[in-house]
Structure 1
Amino acid sequence: MAQTNELAHRMAAKTIQLVDGSGTPVAGKEITLRQTNHKFLFGCGIFDAIQAADPDAPADRRPWLDRQMDLFLDVFNFATLPFYWALFEPEKGKPRTKELLAAARWLKERNVAVKGHPLCWHTLTAPWLLNLSNEEILKEQFARIERDVTAFKGLIDMWDVINEVVIMPIFDKYDNGITRISQELGRVGIIKEMFAKTRESNPNATLLLNDFNTSINYEILIDGCLNAGIKIDAIGIQSHQHQGYWGREKLEEVLERFSSFGLPIHFTENTLTSGHLMPPEIEDLNDYRIPEWPSTPEFEERQAREIDEMYTILFKHPLVEAITAWNFTDAGAWLGAPAGLVRKDNSPKPAYELLKKRIKGDWSTHAACRTDDAGILNFEGYLGEYELACEGRKASFTLDRDEGTVRLVLS
């Protein structure tokens, strides 16, 4: 009961009148209600969906891909697909639109919401931009947004519009076209341009500003954007914790600070390893490269405990709308870290089983009840999509906070 009170904002009560095809109330009947999807977005970066959706994927890899996707679909309802410009369009005019469209469609057909990541970023941006003037770079960036956001409309209606802007104009590891134009436009200026172009290309899309920097610098940037009239639909917070779990105190402190804007919050890239921790003296996570980073039983249990606490804190917070585990599998994980929820052989880790229990069990609604003489039933459940069944007949509905009685027809 205590948990229900803490999670009341994730739930709603609903009155349903059940009728048959002729409009007659289905009176005095046993009903089962089963939640089939959450409103809350429980996600993963699932880049292997590109190959899974490819009918020409290597036959010897197909069983592994199918197993991975089955495990993913059994728990998660949200996927992030990669649109890194350097990989999506390594040669100007030859984007991988076909492959990404197939992957987005494959996921959408399985009731998975999809986000594209990212439209503008200085890292992994198109190398051929360096041959252009700043004016030409900006023109190409606009064209890229218009082309891709328009092409994926209806399949991908959520985007990390621009990534890691706090560091973008002062990034000095290597020259790149996006840092060049961010220096000219300024942080707020480049965000304003990218959001405006994305909004123009898909007015109904959910647009995120995303960053790993959770210092006051990110708060100042967000405040500057809002004061400049930029409509940010959600604040994206990266939480790559290769050097150790943030812990409850830091997590709640970050939530408190970024909640001050009153905007939805998405934890867009969450990483907790099931191996040894990266040394604390490493300043740029990308600088830590080792031949092998094993997952161990002891650290897998630690990963599960930390994920349990973190997800529980985030799910309880009223402004958090999405959590994305950055790596679903250890195979090909960023930096070679054992940060996946399943091992390289697709065997689930304790963290996977824990999240399945939470998402599909503790935080889902499955109920049985009986209609009254007017075919009415009342129930309370977690927000999302439901299937109602009665004597072999079914009806589907969405549980939201709208008031009033819902009339369902059994078919």
Structure 2
Amino acid sequence: MKILKSTLIATTLLMGISCKTSNNHKAQETGLRDAYKNSFHVGTALNRDDILQTDSLRSALIGKEFSSITAENIMKSMFMHPEKDVYQFDMSDKYVEFGEKNNMFIHGHTLIWHSQLAPWMRSISDSTEMAQAMESHIKTIVEKYKGRINSWDVVNEALNEDGTLRNSAFYKTIGSEYLAMAFKWAAETDPNTDLYYNDYNLTNKAKRAGAVKLVKDIQSKGIKIDGVGMQGHWHIDSPSIEEIEESILDYANLGVKVAITELDVSVLPNPWNLVGAEISQNFENNKKLNPYPEALPDSMQVKLAKRYSDIFKVFLKHQDKISRVTFWGTSDKESWLNDFPVRGRTNYPLLFDRELKPKAAYDSILALKK
């Protein structure tokens, strides 16, 4: 009896969602950008093709649905600052121009990160030389876009899972002081832009405690830090809604803004229960780990829609603390989760399918604002 009842509920829910999606008229009258304009920015990450606007339909969709943008890759040091005295601003210029053209909140990602680090910077072993390299890198880029980029991820993913500091090239040469130094240089260069610390798994207690300590340490030095970016690389079953809510409150209690960044919800089996976004993780593909190679079953569409709805209910409950909610991409086709942590899988973590059509998950979020 219970099985029949749950099946009926799921079928009814899917029929209701499918009617809206297939008709697609109501869902497209008001996009997320307008629906959430009085709550927080809803954003997406732009890849190289998005920035170059190679697909006019996709460009129009991004402009309609999102009020904020983040650069997925092109602003990382290996691309922007490939050699000590060489900066490449062509793509970042186009990225900022896209945001300005569409009247968007523009986020810079990222100034200091151990991964995708320019090789010349990675090779530095002297603390003074590293500090000079960091200062020049931060000040040159922030100054270049002063008054045009609204917020920055100053430091990205500096913590281990136990909350201790990662043994990055910056930590090895300078020590823990590199964090405060980075925020100090960014604030000196553009005091009017918001400065964030950004990381994954910030709902986990040990890492959360480490992030709280990191922010407090910077604040204790009188240095500006405006927010914490909680990467939302989450799964269909984890973290719990309670963990998400507790984390938002813990960071907000520091007196800083909370941004939900890099949001996507994997629907695929998770090998070895891995969590987060440590990009060095990678595993062989197989049928068990890639159960939906052709399409996502209706039952999973419903489950994903409910998961997104539950998550956004928490965001709306605490909208006074949240500045941005940014999806890590626009459609399933381009999602990095098709290759992480297992290459060649077919994942369905975002709001728009591979043909740019809104999914049940999209409708579930939009319905919260009607």
Give the alignment's TM-score, normalised by structure 2.
0.75
Q: Are residues 131 and 260 of structure 1, via their aligned partners in 2, closer, same or farther at CA, if it must alter by over 3 Å?
A: closer
Q: Deviations over 1:10-58 (max 9, x none)?
A: xxxxxxxxxxxxxxxxxxxxxxxxx69825443333223x43443xx7x
Deviation string, structure 1 residues 146-187 (Cα, Å, up to 9, x no partner): 111111223212101101222398646xxxxxx233234333
2:27 corresponds in structure 1 to: none
Which residue does 1:204 correspond to in 2? 192
Residues in 2 aligned to 1:300 and 1:181: alpha-carbon distance in whole angstroms: 43
The CA distance in 2 between the partners of 1:192 and 1:279, in whole Å, is 36
Give, in angstroms, the shift of residue 205 of structure 1.
Answer: 0.5
Bigger mean CA offset, 287-296 vs 346-355: 287-296
Distance 1:120 1:169, change over 3 A: farther
Structure 1 residue 201, shift from structure 2 partner: 1.4
Equivalent residue, structure 2, for 1:117: 109
Residue 330 of structure 2 corresponds to which residue in structure 1? Answer: 328
Following TM superposition, the consecutive aligned residue runs of length 4 or more in structure 1 with deviations greater than 6 angstroms are none
Give deviations 1:225-261, integer Å, cap 9, x for gaps: 2222222111221221147332322122222322321
The SS at the match of 2:306 is helix
Answer yes or no: is the 8 Å Cα contact 1:40–1:322 preserved in 2: no
Matched-pair contact (CA < 8 Å) for 2:78–2:118: yes
- Evaluate the alpha carbon distance shift between residue 133 and residue 335 of structure 1 in structure 2; reply closer, same or farther with a 3 A threshold: same
Letter in structure 1 aligned against 2:146: K
Q: Corresponding residue for 1:355?
A: 365
Give the structure 1 partner of residue 9 of structure 2: none
Q: Read off the aligned partner of 2:45 and give its amino acid letter.
A: I
**2:234 counterpart residue number:** 241
Note closer, same or farther for the CA distance 1:212–1:260 as it changes in structure 2 (3 Å cut): same
Shift of 1:262: 2.5
Aligned partner letter, 1:330:
D
Amino acid at match of 1:306: R
Q: CA deviation at 1:353?
A: 3.0
Choose the corresponding residue for 1:263, options 256, 260, 269: 256
Higher relative contact order (CA 8 A, sep 6+): 1
Task: State which of 185, 206, 210 in structure 1 corresponds to 2:174.
Answer: 185
Given that 1:166 and 1:213 are in contact with CA atoms closer than 8 Å, whether structure 2 keeps it comes out as: no
Q: CA deviation at 1:357?
A: 4.2
TM-score relative to the length of structure 1: 0.68
Q: Higher helix proportion, which one?
A: 2
* Distance (Å, rounded) in 1 between the aligned partners of 2:175 and 2:334: 35
Instruction: Report 1:10-409 matches (<5 A).
Output: 38=37, 40-48=39-47, 50-54=48-52, 62=54, 65-81=55-71, 82=73, 83-134=75-126, 135-167=128-160, 171=166, 179-187=168-176, 189-214=177-202, 215-242=208-235, 244-273=237-266, 275-282=267-274, 285=277, 286=279, 287-289=281-283, 291=285, 294=293, 296-297=296-297, 298-317=299-318, 318-336=320-338, 337-358=347-368, 361-362=369-370
Which has a greater percent of strand? 1
Task: Kindly state the Cα deviation for residue 283 of structure 1 after the two structures are TM-superposed.
Answer: 5.9
Query: Aligned partners of 1:288, 1:301: CA distance in 2, in Å?
Result: 29
SS at the partner of 1:165?
coil
Which SS does the other structure have where 1:261 is aligned? coil
Q: Aligned partners of 2:35 and 2:245: how far apart in 1?
A: 30
Shift of 1:97: 0.8
Provide the C-alpha distance between the structure 1 equivalents of 2:284 and 2:153, rounded to a whole number of angstroms. Answer: 30
Task: Sort the Cα spacing of 1:284 and 1:248 in 2 relative to 1 into closer, same or farther, 3 A.
Answer: closer
Cα distance in 2, alignment partners of residues 225 and 272 from structure 1:
31
What is the distance in 1 between the residues matched to 2:354 and 2:250? Answer: 37
Match of 2:200, as an amino acid?
F
SS of equivalent residue, structure 1 residue 160: strand
Structure 1: distance between partners of 2:244 and 2:36: 27
Structure number with bigger Rg: 1
Deviation at 1:116, TM superposition (A): 0.7
Q: 1:93 to 1:242 in 2, by over 3 A?
A: farther
Preserved contact between residue 335 and residue 349 of structure 2 (Cα < 8 Å): yes
Structure 2: give runs of 5+ residues left out of the alignment.
Answer: 1-33, 203-207, 339-346
Check conservation: 2:158, 2:166, Cα contact below 8 A: no
Contact 1:79/1:115, CA 8 A, preserved across alignment: yes
RMSD: 2.7
